Amino acid sequence: MNFSKKVSQGSASFTRPSLGAGSIFLILVFLLSGCLQGAPDKEYRVKNVIDGDTIELESGSMVRYLGIDTPEIRKRQDDGSWSYAPEPYAEKAKEFNRQLVEHKTVRLELDLQKKDKYNRLLAYCFAGDVFVNAKLLEEGFALLYTWPPNVKYADLLVKMQEEARRNNRGLWGELALIPCKDAKRYLNQVVIVEGKVSSIRQSVKVSILNFGQSKFKAVIFKETFPVFMASGISIPQTYKGKTVRVTGRIKEYKDAFEIIVRHPSAIEVVD
């Protein structure tokens, strides 16, 4: 499925004014500050593909695709260095991304939050008539990774993931289905965890789904509450006492293991 967004271009004539020292200084500041942040929907040349969801522009700017997460190619060591340790489908996702965008001109569209904590630009990427973020989801090379306030295309991206999952495309045909007691063995991996929700701890900031005596938890932060409400889901009523499957990357936090749930589609009730 292709996604297109037509952009009309016009021209304007003007009379060039004379520039004083102050005006020249302001122009230089604007140029040096990085035009991309204030100019979404512009075209840029891709120099290099880092992995399935990250690219480098010819300007040197790093761009992280919004709304998706692909398997990791590198792993951070205890000393802070990185080693090559690709997760399943990581290389395939990178290659698919490379075929779509490497050494090509792409159009980048920003959302409300422009950069992440690593100073990477956050963008929706369009290569010709292909919406790259959505295409990676549709073909099963990525998982949904929506997070407020950057949710402009959330509904479309959800549909693309559901289609890939229904058809067992890409990683959906290979994700491990594990019992919650085995979560520790799959640290930092993307898996599907199955278990019975024994209790739910709620506060104004977070809802935590506990799974009996296991150390596994599913965590839903307040930023995502409105999405559950809009889907007609009351977290305690829907999940407590139910056997569910939670899809995502397992992280360790305070001697426990968890998946941060960023969208209701990541939790499937199987009772």
Instruction: State which amino acid sits at residue 116.
Output: D
63 closest CA partner among 137, 142, 144, 133: 133
User: Is residue 74 annotated as a catalytic residue, yes or no?
Assistant: no
Bridge partners, 43 (sequence order): 107
Q: Which of 87, 98, 107, 120 is catalytic?
A: 120
User: Is residue 162 annotated as a catalytic residue, yes or no?
Assistant: no
Q: What is the dihedral of CA 133, 137, 143, 144, to 10 degrees?
A: 60
Query: Are residues 165 and 143 in contact, defined by beta-carbon separation less than 8 angstroms?
Result: no
User: Is residue 72 annotated as a catalytic residue, yes or no?
Assistant: yes
Please give the positions annotated as active site.
Answer: 64, 72, 120
